[in-house]
Structure 1
Amino acid sequence: MHSEEVHLGDDRKDLIVGIEDRMSLKEYIIYGFQQVLVESSALTFPVATGLGLGLPKETIAYMVQAYLIGAGLVTITQSSRLLKLPCVQGPAAVFISVMITVGNTLGVAAAWTGMIIGAILSTLLSWPLGWWGKLRPIIAAPPVYGPLVTLIGLSLTGIVIGLIIGKPGTPNFGSGYNFFLAAVTFLIATVLTIYFKRGILRFGAILIAVGVGTIFAAVSGNVNFDSVGKAAWFGMPQLLPFGWEINTAAIVIVFVGYLIAIVESIGNYVLLGEVMGGQKMDEERINRGILGESVGSIVAGLIGGAGTTSYAQNIGAISITGIGSRHVITASGIIVLILGFIPKVGATVASIPPAVLGGIYILTWGMLIMQGIRVLGRMKLSNLNMIIAGTTFMTGMGAYFIPPQFLATLPPVGKAILSTGLIVGTIVGMTLFIVFKMILRVEEEGKSASTDNEAC
């Protein structure tokens, strides 16, 4: 069978500083901090998740700490010991939608217990079973991967709208000021991203925009930083802060979330290792990488953090700067880990106005949607590929329109699964691919997307 896989890079880009090259301590700090600026998800994702779950501000501030600690630990371990690639790790976007759905449906304790058990299952499939490397042809197939990435972005649309409009009963609910604040933040990040190709203004565009938006809101009297002053300068994480509650539906849904995060990671491993670094990404190395993410996700889940994935944004920064040393990424992981032990950082992030985050997410999650469309644009346009991709997309989106009256008639497991379009799409897409491509081995002729574009 002809193998189709996701390759997110076009041509090989030679690195100025190679993956194994060492640099000075000063350069480690400068370039490591630069990578921290590029990817701020460990700061903003817990806020979006906490707001979606209706958690108090103090809890959200703690979640920021837990997410930072988890991201830092996994980044350090991956870059220095297991994967040995310059991969920045952090909370996966898929877990925002998954944890909000599971938490609101089955309870926050069940959601985080599912996070921990799902990570344990993922660990076992990495080692000793070694399945993830063998599943690369399935989970990295464009007709499966493309629609799923697109669905991740689309599933988060409702969260963005909720952040901008506000929560019913709050002073600024539905206020035009919220839309203005979101627009200002969005425009600042967009302008910096478009007009600056490198440097602090380019790599720190998101954090700069969030900072300016927050300052603007503070000047107009719409931000309260009292919690920052009360927060300590040092704090240790808590064990099982959300409790422990085993729920089969929660475990199944969160595990599928891990599957999607692993798809993203494997695609990034291949891009960074083979396309950019010229290093072989065999099954054993992929399994080591997923093992590192999975064990790190267990630790993160135990302290209230989230499952991790590798970030394509940071790979983009590497391609622009040419600085591909994995030791630089280790330095960035150390910086993130240190920030995780400073409660004032979490309290500051938790004080960011939701509308500011909404404006940023329009940009970042919109780009995530386009990443999925980009993968589909490179897919071989055979009838079978288009059927798998189209069906995955339709069933995934269709789940969000299932009438609540029908969901109410289902058992808890069925209700939780069908409430998450991303999970439905994953199950349908992988099943179709396995049946038609791997079991029946259907072969079809089809034009590549580039051929069609050239014909146009």
Structure 2
Amino acid sequence: MKKVKNTNSSGLSDEEMLYQLDGRPRFSIAFPMGLQHVLAMFAGNLAPMLIIAAIAKATPQETVIMIQAGMLISGLATFLQLYPIKIGRFQIGSGLPFVMGTSFAFVPTASAAAALGGIPAVLGGALVGSLAEGLIGVFYKYLKRLFTPLVIGSALIVIGLNLLNVGRDYFAGGAGAKDYGSWQNLTIAFSTFIIVLALQRFGKGIVKTAALLFGLVLGYLIALAFGKVDLSAIGASSWATIPRPLPFMPTFNPQTIISFVIIYITVSMETIGNTSGITIAAFDRQATEKETSGAVLADAFGCAVASLFGAMPNTAFGQNVGIVSMTKVVNKWCITLGAGVLVICGFLPKLGYIFASIPPAVLGGALISVFAMITLNGIKMLAQAGFSERNITVLGITFALGIGFAGHADAIAGMPTWLKFIFEDSIAATTIVGIIANLIFPEPKKAKATEPEETVATDKSAPTTVTHAMTH
């Protein structure tokens, strides 16, 4: 007897709905897709908060407060990106399959603030600084000419390269680990890496699509056999607690606020780049003005709420954009289920610590190729813009200063403080230098690309089949 696919009123099967923004595939198919997003970002979401808590000399109880709030706000901010709120002519949220989490981009600035005034100083700077990102979201219509495909594509490349550095450290066992680069860590990482590749190459159906999830699970079991999984924190934590607002009273330091404003501008560029990264990879188009503005506003709103609940600022996670790029799974219901796991973790510390116990080597093995997807999306965007003489000049200046020069402490030692703020971070430098270079060498009017129409903001009018998605 011929097996009949489970379909909905639109005539699409559960598997086909994975490649549509809307629709509800059955739980057994949708949940693994959402769960692999959670597994991919969980440790990265926790790590910045653990770093800042250590620098601020927070107590174990204060650290747990930060972690729980971070999980809860990550889930809620993800819901906001998936299902935007419209206020007048503004839309808070992109309507795209974003997963929100604590960004490593904030760690250097937050570390300095934590050393100066503890967690309250971090939260105060983050709260006020989020207003800067909100303004970029509100006025993106007038600022968008600054964020050309060359600027966003360059930013995507640098974000991807930075993520590859993170992936390398995870692969070797985690930055600063005593056994960094040990044969045990490398064996775990390479085993996980090979499992993911094998499943992507030889797997069928859901096994192939959820290769990252299965790779993480099998890699976790391998790490368990090597004795690399630490479960001590699970037993020491309570079963359930409720995050509450203002567990720490924010303090406001002008120097800290200025530093956070600068990093928020950088993070907003990351969000703009990630927005285009998703639409290019999944829908083969650039993001619309409404999607980009909404994504940045949701970022800013999530950061402000996170600060009020004692968590580090939230932003769109680049590695999850990479997962969308690799799997082409864009269904919002799948991501919603994953966001629900994050919210539940915000109330159940033990569950959160189970996810957090995934060793860095497992994450590195599963995700290092995913991180490369961000860079490839940036290259794709530059290719779409073309390599005219003018574009090559702009890119040459951008990469020379943004990648070749920025981020090297000794090279920028003699710079004024305000310039150091920019050139200490390669993403910020690449973005700002790219904007300036584009203004100095304006694009000929006849070559300017038209803005994507708002009518293509979703893929409803152009269904994508499983077969088509697998050919990407």
TM-score, normalization by structure 1? 0.74
Aligned pair 1:427/2:432, yes or no? yes
- d(CA) in 1 for partners of 2:97, 2:398: 29
2:376 partner letter? M
**2:71 counterpart (54, 68, 72):** 68
Maintained 8 Å contact 1:67/1:91: no
2:155 partner letter? L
Aligned pair 1:35/2:44, yes or no? no
How many corresponding residue pairs? Answer: 413
Following superposition, the deviation at residue 316 of structure 1 comes to 5.3
2:405 partner letter? A
Aligned pair 1:345/2:348, yes or no? no
Following superposition, the deviation at residue 150 of structure 1 comes to 0.9
**2:224 counterpart (196, 215, 218):** 218
CA RMSD of aligned residues (A): 4.0
Maintained 8 Å contact 2:272/2:292: no
1:133 aligned residue: 141
Maintained 8 Å contact 1:235/1:342: yes
2:158 aligned residue: 151
- Aligned identity (percent) is 22
Deviations 1:290-347 (A, max 9, x none): 3333212221343314322275457558856xx85x5665454334322332211321
Aligned pair 1:399/2:405, yes or no? yes
Aligned pair 1:49/2:52, yes or no? no
Q: CA distance change for structure 1 residues 65 and 168 in 2, over 3 Å: closer, same or farther? A: closer
Structural mapping, 1:350-389, within 5 Å: 350-389=356-395
Alignment gaps of 5+ in structure 1: 1-14, 447-456
Maintained 8 Å contact 2:74/2:343: yes
Q: CA distance change for structure 1 residues 182 and 124 in 2, over 3 Å: closer, same or farther? A: same
Q: Which moved more, 1:53-62 or 1:116-125?
A: 53-62
Q: CA distance change for structure 1 residues 390 and 317 in 2, over 3 Å: closer, same or farther? A: closer
Following superposition, the deviation at residue 45 of structure 1 comes to 1.8
Structural mapping, 1:122-271, within 5 Å: 122-126=133-137, 130-139=138-147, 141-166=148-173, 171-196=178-203, 198-199=205-206, 201-237=207-243, 239=246, 244=251, 246=253, 247-267=256-276
Aligned pair 1:294/2:300, yes or no? yes
Maintained 8 Å contact 1:68/1:337: yes
- d(CA) in 2 for partners of 1:267, 1:175: 38
Following superposition, the deviation at residue 234 of structure 1 comes to 1.8
1:156 partner SS = helix
Maintained 8 Å contact 1:77/1:292: yes
- d(CA) in 1 for partners of 2:334, 2:144: 28
1:334 aligned residue: 340
Which structure ranks higher in relative contact order (CA pairs < 8 Å, sequence separation ≥ 6)? 1
2:129 aligned residue: 118
Alignment gaps of 5+ in structure 2: 1-15, 86-90, 449-472
- d(CA) in 2 for partners of 1:168, 1:327: 35
Maintained 8 Å contact 1:38/1:204: no
TM-score, normalization by structure 2? 0.72
Q: CA distance change for structure 1 residues 168 and 78 in 2, over 3 Å: closer, same or farther? A: closer
Following superposition, the deviation at residue 270 of structure 1 comes to 5.5
2:99 partner SS = strand
Maintained 8 Å contact 2:172/2:189: no
Deviations 1:326-383 (A, max 9, x none): 5665454334322332211321233222222332342221222222222222221111
- d(CA) in 2 for partners of 1:403, 1:289: 32
